[in-house]
Amino acid sequence: MRCLWRSEIDPQCNALMERQRPNVPNLGDVRNVGRHNAAAVDVICGGDPCPKHSGARSNGQSRTADLSGYFLAVVGRLRPRWVVRENVLAPTVEYFDAALVALGYGTTIVRLDASKITGQHRIRDFVIGCYQASRAELRQLFSDCQDGTWDDAPCLTTQQITPCLTTHRTRYDSCDCYILEPRGFRILDGDERERLAGFPAGWTAGFSETARARFCGNAVVPEEAEWLGRRIVEAEVLL
């Protein structure tokens, strides 16, 4: 697969992506992405902001906009063959799934836990859609991970050593992970978060610890993305 464009408004995320993927144009705000500025693609994948759906918040409702509808609008305008949407576990995943069905996609929801391939316990729902395929066909293609067991994980011997990484670098919460050293407790540093998130060493180096925490807390585990991508490529032979 080759990435033709992306949609991102966060300045630090853009700085990182311009360093790691310098030849991929950024179309900016997803609310403005459409036929006039987006090349046709076979797959549209992404994760709309999760705070509206996340159960990790403990201080009231998030003020972050729910952009899932704009994600669907891009899909409706471009009608790619495949759609992959990642987000936290939330009942609203069923609404996104139903909207894809209304647009003509066969769908399935794949639940993956990153602890199968990294030391981080990170469960996420991936809504997979294939245009004009049936739900039965999609469920069959991903039947080995419908219940979250992910039998085909690249590595089944990895043991969880930390809870799900969050975007907060300095939050002290029972859900977060701390390192106990002779001088006391400390929070994970950027290098540790990077490794637990499944990225190559130095991928986010050069940014502040706060920025690196956000990168790793918001990111999809790379091996999960690769595994799903390979499944989609293989599926093209079958569908």
Looking at the domain assignment, is residue 19 inside a domain? yes
Q: Taking the model in full, what pTM does it have? A: 0.85
Looking at the domain assignment, is residue 204 inside a domain? no
Q: How far apart are CA 127 and CA 143, in angstroms?
A: 14
Report the domain count for the chain.
1
Looking at the domain assignment, is residue 169 inside a domain? no
Q: What are the pLDDT digits (tens) for 133-162? A: 998 988 888 877 755 555 555 544 555 566
* Reduced 3-state DSSP string for 59-100: CCCCCCCCCHHHHHHHHHHHCCCEEEEEECCCCCHHHHHHHH
Looking at the domain assignment, is residue 148 inside a domain? yes
Looking at the domain assignment, is residue 205 inside a domain? no
**Angle at CA of residue 204, ends 203 and 208, nearest 5°:** 165
Residue 140: domain span: 11-153+225-238
- Max Cα separation, the chain? 59
Looking at the domain assignment, is residue 230 inside a domain? yes
Q: What are the pLDDT digits (tens) for 84-114? A: 999 998 888 999 999 999 999 999 999 888 8
Looking at the domain assignment, is residue 144 inside a domain? yes
Q: What is the mean pLDDT of the chain?
A: 84
CATH number at residue 37: 3.40.50.150
Looking at the domain assignment, is residue 163 inside a domain? no
